[in-house]
Amino acid sequence: FLGRVRKRKSFSAQEKLYALDQLKKGKQQTQLARDLEINESTLRGWKKDEEKLRSLPRILENETGLQRKKVKFANDERLDSALYQWFVQARSEGVPISGPILKAQAEKFDRLINGNDSKFKASNGWLDRFKKRHTISQVLVSGEIHSADKEAANSYPTELKKLLEEGCYTADQVYNCDETGLCFKMLPNHTLATKTDSHKREGFKQRKDRVTLLFCVNKSGSHKLRPLMIGKARYPRCFHHVNMKALPFEYTNSRNAWMNRSIFEDWFHKTFVPAVWAHLRKLKQEGKALLLLDNCPAHPPAENLFSHDGKIKLCYLPKNTTSAIQTLDQGIISVFKQNYRREMIKRMVADNNSSVDTSLASLNLKEVCHLGGKAWDAISARCIERCWIKGLGPAFLSSTHDDGNDDEPEFTRLIEADVRLAEEALREYEHSHHDILNWFSADDICPIYEHMSDDEIVANVSGKNEAAPSEPETSGANDNDDDDGTSTPPPKVSEAVKHLEASLRWLETQDVDSIKILQLRSILDFARSQQKQPILKVVRQTVKCRNRL
């Protein structure tokens, strides 16, 4: 009898999921069990636990969890998920967490979830299992945490290289996205005004003049996605009568102009996936891509972010390493902010009949979209490629490091001229040369996501917050605190044609490139065609009436 008993084999979660996928593709259960040298009852047990197995990437945070051959699930998954969300949020803010703190917080969450009658006790054994389940290790807050971050940052490019080789991803198929805050009316020497409203020298409240921006680029620099702007107002007045699809930025809103999971998930499925498909189809490449993402609490679990065919998916970067290896943090966002403030200064200089206060008052979200669009378009593929190499160079086979003095991003050689232009525009204020230099790379202190309270975390794991918090319906003056309070109706087609004709006559007298004249002629032709459409419609209706008679 013992000779007929098969030697027991251990399978990792990843191997079990692969076997279950084979069953879904039509392979016979008997044949699969024979190939794996296991009993059919074992295979039926895997099918019973399939939901738990597929939830492992979310529970264990990284793909290493799928390599485990034995995983102990939590008895109370809601409590486990709530505590882990709280832990990740606290560590992302630099809060030191110890074992006793985790145990006390677990008991607090248990009372919030299960009521005061619960008899749960956070023992040392429970704490050890929780730490093993989520690969949490003890590190010293002073000094060693920084070396641990550096070690993870140094080792990740090797892991990423292996992942790219296994997936056969090209440079056009690897993407990175990141959020940043932009105080779009901020002036020099007020970089801390986002935390207080006491600085009112410029006649506006700095804290309210802030948006969150989401940028995304691929490794080759051939694809810069249309940035996403998150404001406070649902229907800003400055966007009335405006074709939103024609703006350089997409726009959405949240209560505090912060990123949240609902907004990010919506952006991923409705913007990122279609844009990547279209770009790769244009390049005649396979429609697959890998998005590298940091561990911001506003980002949803990985299992919620993949395309319908599973070919476009994401990979989270190691924790506490994004400042060292994330591409957009290596200079691209800094270049954008410097470019934006350059365009902002040019706008103020061009409007030489207005004061700084008046110019800033007219800077609404529509103007920010256009200024930001110029700033984003000015970032070259070469600059993007350099930032990828700076953060993740060893992960790419064809990567070469620039050793010359031009290793800095391209905008640095223009800084002095920009500072002089800023000093001229802001001459009515006393700003030092150093203040203006710092101003070009400000906004780093802006929050980009909302800190979740304990009650909100409990509601999240209990499924009570199915979507993002609903925004209160507003109208009139309260619809947008970031706007200038005016909404001008669009001109009639006849008025547009009249002014375009006058503009063309003026432009033809100037010493300009002929391409600009041709562009204006094309716009004028479009306006004239729109003017003829109502007339043609009336003619068609008249002909139809005559035919009926």
Q: For residue range 401-457, list pLDDT tens digits in order.
A: 454 444 444 544 445 666 666 666 666 555 666 666 666 666 666 677 767 778 878
Residue pair 210/184 in contact by the 8 Å Cβ criterion: yes
Residue pair 220/381 in contact by the 8 Å Cβ criterion: yes
Using a cut of 0.85, tell me whether the model's pTM lies above it. no
Name the one residue in this structure whose structure tokens are 């009949």.
353
* Residue of 181, 180, 188, 199 whose CA lies nearest to 440: 188
Lowest model confidence (mean pLDDT) among 57-66, 174-183, 184-193, 334-343: 57-66
| pLDDT recorded at residue 409 | 45
Q: Compute the average pLDDT of residues 276-288.
A: 94
> Higher model confidence: residue 87 or residue 201?
87
- Reported as a pLDDT band with limits 50, 70 and 90, residue 92 is low
Q: Is the pLDDT of residue 2 over 50?
A: no
> Higher model confidence: residue 64 or residue 488?
488
Q: Compute the average pLDDT of residues 293-315.
A: 85
| pLDDT recorded at residue 468 | 41
* CA gyration radius, the chain: 29
> Higher model confidence: residue 2 or residue 373?
373
> Higher model confidence: residue 212 or residue 342?
212
Question: Residue 170 has which token pair?
Answer: 């090209």
Q: Is the pLDDT of residue 469 over 50?
A: no
Query: From the CB of residue 139, how many other CB atoms can be counted at a distance below 10 Å?
Result: 13
| Residue-wise pLDDT tens digits, 184-239 | 888 775 443 444 444 444 443 444 588 999 999 999 999 999 999 999 999 898 99
* Residue of 35, 17, 13, 14 whose CA lies nearest to 25: 17
Percentage of the chain beyond pLDDT 90 is 22
Question: Residue 542 has which token pair?
Answer: 């008249």
Name the one residue in this structure whose structure tokens are 């000093």.
423
* DSSP annotation of 449: B
- Reported as a pLDDT band with limits 50, 70 and 90, residue 66 is very low
d(CA 524, CA 521): 5
* Residue of 157, 302, 280 whose CA lies nearest to 223: 280
Helices in 316-380 by DSSP H: which ranges? Answer: 322-325, 332-350, 356-361, 365-377
Residue pair 210/234 in contact by the 8 Å Cβ criterion: no
Strand order in the sheet with 250-253: 250-253, 228-231, 211-218, 174-182, 289-293, 312-316
> Higher model confidence: residue 408 or residue 514?
514
* DSSP annotation of 274: H
Query: From the CB of residue 537, how many other CB atoms can be counted at a distance below 10 Å?
Result: 10
Please report, as a single letter, which amino acid is at residue 92: S
Lowest model confidence (mean pLDDT) among 18-22, 79-83, 209-213: 18-22
Residues 6+ apart with CB under 8 A from 115: none
Residue pair 478/98 in contact by the 8 Å Cβ criterion: no
> Higher model confidence: residue 506 or residue 149?
506
- Most confidently predicted of 2-11, 340-349, 481-490: 340-349
> Higher model confidence: residue 230 or residue 150?
230
Q: Is the pLDDT of residue 178 over 90?
A: yes
| pLDDT recorded at residue 408 | 46
Q: Compute the average pLDDT of residues 309-333.
A: 87
Q: Is the pLDDT of residue 58 over 70?
A: no
Percentage of the chain beyond pLDDT 70 is 68
| pLDDT recorded at residue 411 | 45
| Residue-wise pLDDT tens digits, 344-368 | 888 887 776 667 777 788 889 999 9
> How far is C-alpha 272 from the chain's CA centre?
10
d(CA 382, CA 398): 15
Residue pair 234/471 in contact by the 8 Å Cβ criterion: yes
Report residue 21: phi and psi, to 5°: -65, -35
Strand partners of residue 179: 214
Q: Is the pLDDT of residue 475 over 60?
A: no
- Reported as a pLDDT band with limits 50, 70 and 90, residue 537 is low
* DSSP annotation of 481: T
Reduce the DSSP state of residue 494 to 3 states and report it. helix
